[in-house]
Amino acid sequence: MSSRRDFIKKSAIIGTGLAMSPSLSFGASNSFKGKKVNVALIGVGLRGTNHLNNVLLREDVLVTAICDIDPRRIKIALDLIDKAGEKKPKVFGKNDLDYRNLLDLKEVDAVIISTPWLWHTKMAKDSMLAGKYTGLEVSAANTMEECWDLVNTHEQTGSHLMILENVNYRRDVLAVLNMVKQNVFGELVHFRCGYQHDLRFVKLNDGKSAYGKGVEFGEKGISESAWRTQHSLLRNADVYPTHGVGPMATMCDVNRGNRFMSLTSHASKGIGIHNYIVKHGGKDHPNAKLKFKQGDVITSTIETANGETIIVTHDCNLPRPYSLGFRVQGANGLWEKDGDRMYIEGKSEPHRWDESKEWLEKYDHPLWKKYGEHAQGAGHGGMDFFVINAFIESAKRNIAPPLDAYDAAAWSAITPLSEASIENNGEPQDFPDFTRGMWVKRKPYNWIKDTY
């Protein structure tokens, strides 16, 4: 990430017009031009720092407070803020609950939470109770009770919650969403998605650097290995469903005219983490004696009220290149990310795949057309810019975000439901109706616009 000054300079040099100006990133609607949002960040680890970098590039954000229990992360964040030429924010993190003192501040309008998963719901709940516009990293909740907590607190307080699912803003995902909304695939039938990412080197490290070789985790680990790996040790569940299911849920209007009804899940054996520990730490390393409960490949099938099926895969413990494995299929054809291919009956040569490139360019989403160049460098190929843009623009207007508390709950519920299904030999599990019947009347979100 470049500093704000570098960014502005770069924008000026490129000089390709208004879409490159950072101030325009929030100024799409004149009525909100000039309004600033006071933002606080809870958790400035790897992900929180990425969000910090993105908000520092915006003219419409003041970072008024930060919180992290790790002083090393606070120092990195303060240095970045100083380098960006911004005023020093208030700092919290004396203990695990010091974030509550941050939430007491009047000079905080919106909060971005990027902490380990077990803190997510607690912090998001407290933030909504304090009347803050709340952005929560993925996955939002770990248990069914936590899923309900998010919905109930949103409804009781009227405070908004946005699940910060950046993959919903990926360029190909938004282009395919555009195709869905323009009915190119026809009536939707089936989806595939998942989180298929070799995380062995993230779940295990040397305790000194996040991606340092080593086979430690928990108290001896650093960054995600300090907390994420515990979930693989103790839970046979899809613990990270939202990168895959979020985009698919948006395409078939889940919670807005549709909803998840039930799910079945199956888990393969789990050998990947153990093998990695033996290979890099030796068979006598204490961690080689642990039995990791999580199956290496977990496959869940969701049925929706409108009759679609969605296969969600969690595959993070074996050697493999990254892929979210998207497939979007309707009455007229389908897109498959793996293979980068598209087939539309009547347009493609019969029984032959088209390369998806031309289709995706043709249906490029208006947001990417307008801000694509601006977004480059924001992280994860640009989608991080768009998710934060949507959060800030929604917070500024204090309106419901595109990805709300009901979405956070329904998507995250896959974790406890997959766990229950796996434990019961694939027995179907019903999703609660988090909208309490409102899904029937709620209108689909208007995704096809170039503002946020």
Ligand X SMILES: NC(=O)c1ccc[n+]([C@@H]2O[C@H](COP(=O)([O-])OP(=O)(O)OC[C@H]3O[C@@H](n4cnc5c(N)ncnc54)[C@H](O)[C@@H]3O)[C@@H](O)[C@H]2O)c1
User: Where does this chain touch ligand X (CB under 6 A) — which range of 68-76, 325-333, 342-350, 439-447?
Assistant: 68-76
Number of residues engaging ligand X in binding (CB under 6 A): 26
Provide the minimum distance between the beta carbon of 251 and ligand X in the complex, in angstroms, as a whole number: 19
Q: Which of 48, 246, 330, 401 binds ligand X (CB under 6 A)?
A: 48
Provide the minimum distance between the beta carbon of 117 and ligand X in the complex, in angstroms, as a whole number: 5
Within residues 234-273, the interface with ligand X by CB under 6 A covers none
Q: Quick check: 86 binds ligand X (CB under 6 A)? A: no
Q: Quick check: 380 binds ligand X (CB under 6 A)? A: yes
Please say which residue, 8 or 78, places its beta carbon nearer to ligand X: 78
- Residues 157-196, one symbol each (x = binds ligand X by CB under 6 A, - = not), give ---------x------------------------------
Three state DSSP letters for the chain: CCCHHHHHHHHHHHCCCHHHCHHHHCCCCHHHCCCCEEEEEECCCHHHHHHHHHHHCCCCEEEEEEECCCHHHHHHHHHHHHHCCCCCCEEECCCCCCHHHHHCCCCCCEEEECCCHHHHHHHHHHHHHCCCEEEECCCCCCCHHHHHHHHHHHHHHCCCEEECCHHHHCHHHHHHHHHHHCCCCCCEEEEEEEEECCCHHHHCECCCCCCCCCCECHHHCCHHHHCHHHHHHHCCCCCCCHHHHHHHHHHCCECCCECEEEEEEEECCCCHHHHHHHHHHCCCCHHHHCCCCCCCEEEEEEEECCCCEEEEEEECCCCCCCECCCEEEECCEEEECCCCEEEECCCCCCCCCEEHHHHHHHCCCHHHHHHHHHHCCCCHHHHHHHHHHHHHHHHHHCCCCCCCHHHHHHHHCHHHHHHHHHHCCCCCEECCCCCCCHHHCCCCCCCCCCCC
Q: Which of 1, 8, 28, 46 binds ligand X (CB under 6 A)?
A: 46
Q: Quick check: 217 binds ligand X (CB under 6 A)? A: no
Within residues 432-451, the interface with ligand X by CB under 6 A covers none
Q: Quick check: 89 binds ligand X (CB under 6 A)? A: no
Provide the minimum distance between the beta carbon of 443 and ligand X in the complex, in angstroms, as a whole number: 27
Q: Quick check: 224 binds ligand X (CB under 6 A)? A: yes
Interacting residues with ligand X (CB under 6 A):
42-43, 45-48, 67-70, 73, 93, 96, 99, 114-117, 119, 137-138, 166, 223-224, 226, 380
